Amino acid sequence: MFKKAILLAALGLSFSSHGTTLLNDSEAEQVKALKAQYNNTTELKELTKVSSTIFSLNTQNKDLKTAINRDKQLYLDYQQKLSDEMLSGSGEKTDFYFGAMKKASQAIKQNQQQIIVNTAQIKQLNHKIDQLNGSLRESKKAYNDKLQAIRSTVTERLKAEFANPVPMSVSGKLQCSPYQSIRACFESKQTTSKLINDAIENRFGQIDITSSTNNFKVMAATMDYEGNVEYQVGLNLFVQYDEKIDAQIVKEVGVESFDIRLVSNKHAQFYLDGQPVGQGNEVTVKVSKGKYAVLAKYEGRQESTIQDIENPVSLTYNF
């Protein structure tokens, strides 16, 4: 057993062997429960469905207007032919021309009536979209507010925790020179850095922090003839609460925002939760974590998906 050794080291470290580490079990469970409560899947599916219906009705109205213009021209053509027929006095195709004009007129009226019906339905569906978007905005605001409350709780807890040395116990293996004593090996800067690394990794996992220790005690250590050492040490780790830790909390709680790219092989129009966000071959949108209904439109065609966005991502919609 060694006596207490006074050592000092300060360094910034980053690890990736573990997942979320700053939240305790209760805080992590609260975040998980909120995500399940505010997933908005039903509303997003309905929004996608309504948006698709509006797009189809607008496309149908466009086709109906084209048909009306065509039938109007046909009506005028048959009317001119009927006039020529009557002036010539032959009367051979008078009934045919009358019938064709009547048919074109009926088609025009029918299509005009269908446009009126479609337009009324579009108005109702747009009102539905307004309601869904309002509901989604309220839901996402409530979700974000509750996540921010958890963030504040985590911040206060960690600041209080890091105000004092964090006692830790860490065990592991290291390679020393078989020609040096265990004491000399443990007093080396390289070993001290490894022990701090191991302590941070065991305690925090994936995190970028600045830390130091000045209370280092070897509880047990054995070395074989090749210099392989198994050890158990206790230390007090001084963790500096800084912007890197705050950024990690933001990431783990899920309140950070980031850019996503909406890409298409055509000059498309893009919508997020039913709202237009831009048009072109590539559109950049800033979002927070969550589920979104993404819709891309191009010349009467559309592609839509519901995306659970957790990180910056590029979403492609080809036509």
Phi-psi region of 75 (alpha: psi -120 to 50; beta: other; left: phi over 0): alpha
Q: Average pLDDT in the 19-41 region?
A: 88
% of the chain at pLDDT higher than 70: 90
Q: φ and ψ at 227, to 5 degrees?
A: 90, 10
Alpha-carbon dihedral angle through residues 175, 180, 184, 188, given to the nearest 10 degrees: -50
The residue with tokens 């108005």 is 123
pLDDT one-digit tens code per residue, 69-82 = 999 999 999 999 99
pTM for the whole structure? 0.70
Ranges of beta strands (E only) in 60-195 are: 166-175
pLDDT at 186: 84
Kindly report, residue by residue over 258-271, the tens digit of the pLDDT: 999 999 999 999 99
Question: Who has greater pLDDT, 114 or 140?
Answer: 114
pLDDT, position 17: 36
**For tokens 């032959």, what's the residue?**
90
For residues 190 and 153, give the distance between their C-alpha atoms in angstroms, rounded to a whole number.
36
| Cβ(178)–Cβ(204) below 8 Å | no
Q: With contact defined as beta carbons under 8 Å apart, do 233 and 169 qualify?
A: yes
pLDDT bucket at 8, cuts 50 / 70 / 90: very low
Give the pLDDT score at 14: 35
**Over residues 280-292, mean pLDDT:** 93
Instruction: Decide: 153 and 159 in contact? Cβ < 8 Å.
Output: no
**DSSP element (H, E) containing 78:** helix 41-88
d(CA 141, CA 261): 23
Measured distance CA(64)–CA(288) in Å, rounded = 41
pLDDT tens readout for residues 192-251: 888 877 777 777 765 666 666 656 788 898 989 898 999 998 888 788 888 888 988 998
266 Cβ neighbours under 8 A, 6+ residues apart:
281, 298, 299, 318, 319
pLDDT-derived band at 66, boundaries 50, 70, 90: very high
Question: Which pairs count as long-range contacts for 255-258, CB under 8 Å and 24+ apart, including other chains?
Answer: 255/144, 255/147, 255/148, 255/151, 255/288, 255/289, 256/288, 256/289, 257/286, 257/287, 257/288, 258/286, 258/287, 258/311, 258/312
Mean per-residue pLDDT over the chain, rounded: 86
State the pLDDT confidence band at 296, using cuts at 50, 70 and 90.
very high
3-class DSSP state for residue 279? strand
Asked whether the predicted pLDDT for residue 190 surpasses 50, the reply is yes
- Higher pLDDT: 34 or 234? It is 34
Q: Which token pair is 250?
A: 């933001």
User: What pLDDT is recorded for position 189?
Assistant: 82
Q: Which of 67, 63, 73 is nearest to 118 (CA)?
A: 63
